């Protein structure tokens, strides 16, 4: 085999590799964290203020992963709130709920709503005086 065939084979292999890489790039899924990211960026200072309000609390909300439930516990009363579970790797696994606290100050979220992996819990609530916001990373086993 002479050098002309080797160059042709090299170029064919290179072009095949480039076409394969192009195909892989087109198949990649790129989800935005939020569709309205610009509007959220404008209101980011308000979120920072809400996070600072949490530091002023004597007792902060806590959570625990039990056998069948994700338990949210609140030490004090509030008027309204919501919890959002954000899955960084797959937008389709995100979900949220309005807070409905029982008499024990807890809200239970069934673990069958989650898939195993990392979530960000985004918890926002308010009382008559202040608004609060917490965002932390959790792992669902």
* pLDDT digits 0-9 by tens, 75-106: 777 768 899 999 888 888 889 999 888 888 88
pLDDT at position 91 is 82
Read off the pLDDT of each residue in 99-128 and give the average, rounded to a whole number. Answer: 88
Residues 23 and 90 both lie in one domain = no
Instruction: Please count the structural domains in the chain.
Output: 2
Q: In terms of residue numbers, what domain contains 136?
A: 37-140
Residue 137: pLDDT band (50, 70, 90) is: very high
Contacts of 81 (CB under 8 A, 6+ apart): 98, 99, 123, 124, 125, 126
**Which pTM does this prediction carry?**
0.72
Selection from 9-18, 35-44, 56-65 with the highest mean pLDDT:
9-18
What CATH code is carried by the domain that includes residue 63? 2.60.40.10
Residues 71 and 22 both lie in one domain = no
More confident residue, 101 or 10: 10
């Amino acid at each position: 085999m002479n050098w002309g065939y080797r160059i042709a084979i090299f170029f064919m292999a290179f072009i095949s590799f480039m076409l394969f890489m192009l195909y892989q790039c087109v198949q990649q899924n790129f989800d935005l964290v939020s569709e309205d990211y610009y509007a959220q960026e404008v209101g980011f200072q308000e979120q920072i203020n809400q996070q600072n309000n949490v530091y002023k609390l004597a007792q902060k909300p806590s959570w625990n992963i039990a056998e069948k439930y994700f338990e949210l516990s609140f030490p004090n009363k509030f008027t309204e709130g919501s919890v959002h579970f954000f899955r960084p790797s797959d937008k389709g696994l995100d979900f949220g709920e309005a807070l409905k606290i029982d008499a024990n100050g807890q809200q239970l979220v069934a673990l069958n709503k989650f898939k195993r992996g990392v979530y960000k819990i985004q918890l926002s609530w308010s009382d008559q005086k202040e608004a609060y916001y917490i965002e932390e990373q959790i792992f669902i086993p």
